Amino acid sequence: MPFLKVDNITHQFGGLRAVHDYELSVEPGQIRGLIGPNGAGKTTIFNLITGIYNPTHGHIYLDGERISGLPPHRIASMGIGRTFQNLLLWRHMNVLEHVKMARFSRIGYGLLGACFGTPRRHREEREIEEKAYDLLEMLDIRHLAGQAVPNLPYGAQRRVEMARALATEPKLLLLDEPTAGMNPDELVQIMEIIRRVHRELNLAIFLIEHRMRFVMELCDRIQTLDFGEVIAEGTPEEIQNNPRVIEAYLGATET
């Protein structure tokens, strides 16, 4: 069985069928892309994989284990991290605190350790801080560690969001429009950073993106979604030349 297997899922919001008979297989280390017009169902697929929604039909498996039906925190602890289309960052925490917080949520101290600060807890806190700094370094935002997140440029905020998602040490990272709102310079930088993260952490990535150059350069395989259904799947070249994709999507988007 592939590392992530989405087995024929359908999701209804009341009368609206947002995702229909959707299938996906991701192997370790792959970079997969998901494209499609606004409202096609892309974010809903991420919400299904991460347990925010339960599929109306079908199941999802990670490493052979069924994850559909489990709560989001269990799925996260089993190795799926994600970023959100709309940034979910806290105003009152600085960059380092964001990343540490995400890691703390993964580690249980037990009640006594949390109240009295046992030596083990102090040691773990130091390790958490070191790992957080390593991630900030990898994403080229270590120099911003003490800064309040709302004051940062948009591109840097997106990197904080990515560091937060990586803090739980996922084996699969889901990125929902990682370049949204970025200027051309930030775009080149984020592409380099995603490549570095992929190389150094050796994880699988599944990303939703509207910018075609970005998707075509980064992904091994791409799916195109329209009205909740996959209308094409293949290599970047196959997708670029597929008449259905061009008709449904490519003609109308930035390339």
Q: Which residues bind Mg ion (CB under 5 A)?
A: 42-43, 85
d(CA 201, CA 196): 8
Compute the least distance from the CB of residue 48 to Mg ion, in Å: 13
Is residue 214 classed as helix, strand or coil in its secondary structure? helix
Using CB under 6 A as the binding rule, whether residue 83 contacts ligand ATP is answered as no
Using CB under 6 A as the binding rule, whether residue 18 contacts ligand ATP is answered as yes
Compute the least distance from the CB of residue 44 to ligand ATP, in Å: 3
Residues 43-62 that bind ligand ATP (CB under 6 A): 43-44
d(CA 83, CA 74): 17
d(CA 228, CA 154): 30
Which lies closer to ligand ATP via its Cβ, residue 17 or residue 131?
A: 17
Which lies closer to Mg ion via its Cβ, residue 43 or residue 242?
A: 43
Residues 23-42 that bind ligand ATP (CB under 6 A): 36, 38-42
- Which of 212, 113, 247 lies closest to 104, judged by CA? 113
Look at strands 57-62 and 4-13 and give their pairing.
Answer: antiparallel
Element (H, E) at 177: none
Using CB under 6 A as the binding rule, whether residue 6 contacts ligand ATP is answered as no
Binding stretches for ligand ATP (CB under 6 A): 13, 16, 18, 36, 38-44, 85
